[in-house]
């Protein structure tokens, strides 16, 4: 079976505009209708097309499109992933219940949470422990920032419900 990907158009804040941007041109938008941000169809780092709808010739697929956090060509984070990491780190700095060392540990753990590395299980334990200490308001804020850039497996381990 032959497989290929269409090109996706996504705003720089991570809203999927058109997962078939190369084949359904009439759906493309210069700006996002959800947040007003500019849209892109290529990685800003290497200019590779952002993977969109996955076609397997001869098979009809109804699986939902998931906005990728990283470029599959160069491995760098897309703008929406970078922005979420910045926002999460800024929120961590605002958590009064954590001391300076705990803030550093939690902030450093973010990279292993979004990338699924051998250190991810340790990062999950650290995140859960420090988020619990930080309190529900801070934990909920971090969840709202990170939920879209974490893999499903990591999300389920941190937030099982």
Q: Are residues 153 and 97 in the same domain?
A: yes
Tell me the residue range of the domain where 122 lies.
79-158
Residue 151 banded pLDDT, cuts 50, 70, 90: confident
Is residue 74 domain-resident?
no
Same domain, 87 and 154: yes
Exposed, middle or buried, 15 (CB in 10 Å: 0-12/13-18/19+)?
A: middle
What is the count of structural domains for the chain? 2
Angle between helix 79-94 and helix 136-146 axes, rounded to 10 deg: 170
User: Quick check: is 140 in a domain?
Assistant: yes
97 and 154 belong to one structural domain:
yes
64 within a domain of the structure (yes/no): no
Query: Do the domain assignments include residue 67?
Result: no
Domain-located, residue 62: no
Whether residue 96 sits in one domain with residue 39: no
Q: What is the pTM of this model?
A: 0.89
Is pLDDT of 28 > 90?
yes
Q: pLDDT, tens digit, for every residue of 80-128?
A: 999 999 999 999 999 999 999 999 999 999 999 999 899 999 999 999 9
Are 52 and 89 found together in one domain? no
Is 86 within a domain? yes
């Amino acid at each position: 079976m032959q497989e290929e990907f269409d090109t996706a158009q996504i705003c720089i804040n991570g809203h999927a505009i058109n997962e078939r941007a190369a084949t359904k041109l009439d759906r493309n938008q210069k700006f996002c209708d959800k947040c007003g941000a500019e849209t892109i169809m290529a990685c800003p780092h290497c200019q590779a097309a952002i993977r969109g709808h996955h076609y397997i010739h001869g098979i009809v697929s109804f699986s939902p499109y998931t906005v990728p956090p990283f470029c599959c060509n160069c491995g760098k984070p897309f703008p929406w992933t970078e922005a979420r990491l910045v926002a999460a780190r800024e929120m961590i700095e605002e958590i009064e219940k954590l001391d300076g060392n705990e803030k550093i540990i939690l902030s450093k753990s973010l990279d292993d949470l979004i990338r699924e590395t051998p250190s991810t299980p340790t990062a999950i334990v650290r995140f859960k422990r420090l988020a619990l200490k930080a309190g529900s308001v801070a934990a909920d804020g971090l969840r709202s920032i990170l939920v879209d850039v974490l893999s499903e497996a990591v999300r389920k381990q941190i937030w099982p419900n």
